Amino acid sequence: MSEALLETRDLTIRFGGLTAVDGVDLRLARSEILCIIGPNGAGKSTLFNVITGIYRPSKGTVALEGRDITGSPAHRIAAAGITRTFQSSRLFNDLTLVDNVVIGMHCRTRTGVLTALLRPGKARAELDEAAERAGDLIRSISPDLYERRHALAGTLPQADRRRLEIARALASDPKVILLDEPSSGMDDRDTDALMASIRSVMARRAGLSFLIIEHDMRLVRALPDRVAVIDYGRKIADGDFQEVRQLPRVQQAYLGHKAGHA
Ligand SMILES: Nc1ncnc2c1ncn2[C@@H]1O[C@H](COP(=O)(O)OP(=O)(O)OP(=O)(O)O)[C@@H](O)[C@H]1O
């Protein structure tokens, strides 16, 4: 089997007596979309928090391209190539779309304070370059969004905010993007546009992979290569959506929680 891009082994985190993530093994290949589904409170967001270094696992490992990154601080994990969005929007409402994306670039400019003071022209040129790149990233997500690139992020409807967050995630040149419920609050048309944006980004970036927590079965059915199901912190299934949804243990997990339908 070829080396996984991202791999967790026996990943576990306990909060007091609660095991929120329990022995999870996940493999994400290059250029793959894997959806994580499961009932409310199953441990999906916590799994993201452990992978991205917000929490240290109680047990188990996380590896990126075969390199162990378990327990590394969040900024190191982001610099290594794993970036994410959150369930709640983290955009700066008072900044333009372009500036929100520029903020997502790790090394926005090479210019230090001294150079900025002594050679303001150079600093300006670097900022212009960053803004142009941010514009390109926004366009790669959506030409409509690009038309509004100088508007304030606070004026955007929910669906566009989600897409702008993906553009910002792309700004750090990641290897893996983790999306936490990207289609929440979207209607079918917005969800279709979101899926088109993700496909278009993948077509432009060889090797880029997505790990997506999602409740919307419309997206889960159509977008990912594979689906992993989490229940009570454990991975209970992993494979093709049509096969996974037929499994009695998956149906039982959803019926048991009376939330969503697989
Ligand atoms: N910092 C924490 N301290 C204590 N318990 C926590 C903490 N973070 C998460 N939990 C618990 O871990 C469990 C899993 O929560 P998590 O938010 O990961 O579920 P989820 O699958 O993402 O749910 P949803 O689909 O509703 O977003 C829940 O019981 C939650 O209360």
ipTM of the predicted structure? Answer: 0.95
The string of pLDDT tens digits covering residues 50-109 is: 999 999 999 999 999 999 999 999 999 999 999 998 877 789 999 999 999 998 886 545
The string of pLDDT tens digits covering residues 105-157 is: 865 455 565 666 666 677 778 788 899 999 999 999 989 999 999 999 999 99
Confirm or reject: Cβ of 46 under 6 Å from ligand 1: yes
The string of pLDDT tens digits covering residues 168-201 is: 999 999 999 999 999 988 999 999 999 999 998 9
Which atom belonging to ligand 1 lies closest to the Cα atom of 55?
1
| Domain boundary assignment for the chain | 28-57+70-90+157-257, 92-155
Q: In the prediction, which pLDDT does 117 show?
A: 65
Ligand 1 centre to CA of 126 (Å) is 42
249-257: list long-range contacts, CB under 8 Å, 24+ apart: 253/38, 253/39, 253/42, 253/229, 254/39, 256/39, 256/231, 257/39, 257/40, 257/41, 257/42, 257/231
Pocket test for ligand 1, best of 13, 18, 88, 216 (most atoms within 8 A of CB): 18
- For the segment 224-234, the average pLDDT, to the nearest whole number, is 96
DSSP notation for 116-137: HHH-HHHHHHHHHHHHHHHHHH
Q: In the sheet that 6-15 helps form, which strands lie side by side, from edge to edge?
A: 18-28, 6-15, 59-64, 67-68
- For the segment 218-229, the average pLDDT, to the nearest whole number, is 95
Ligand 1 centre to CA of 38 (Å) is 12
The string of pLDDT tens digits covering residues 209-223 is: 999 999 999 999 999
Ligand 1 centre to CA of 134 (Å) is 34
Q: In the prediction, which pLDDT does 18 show?
A: 95
Q: In the prediction, which pLDDT does 260 show?
A: 46
Q: In the sheet that 226-231 helps form, which strands lie side by side, from edge to edge?
A: 82-84, 176-180, 209-213, 33-37, 226-231, 234-239
Confirm or reject: Cβ of 155 under 6 Å from ligand 1: no
Ligand 1 centre to CA of 41 (Å) is 5
Q: Is the dihedral of CA 115, 116, 118, 120 positive or negative?
A: positive
CA torsion 210→216→221→222, rounded to 10°?
Answer: -60
Confirm or reject: Cβ of 56 under 6 Å from ligand 1: no
Which uninterrupted H or E stretch holds 143? helix 143-147
CATH 3.20.20.150 fits 28-57+70-90+157-257, yes or no: no
Considering only CA atoms, which residue is closest to atom 6 of ligand 1?
Answer: 15
Q: In the prediction, which pLDDT does 104 show?
A: 85
Considering only CA atoms, which residue is closest to atom 30 of ligand 1?
Answer: 41
Q: In the prediction, which pLDDT does 188 show?
A: 93
Ligand 1 centre to CA of 159 (Å) is 25
The string of pLDDT tens digits covering residues 13-37 is: 999 999 999 999 999 999 999 999 9
- Say whether pLDDT at 5 is over 70: yes
Cβ proximity of 80 and 69 under 8 Å: yes
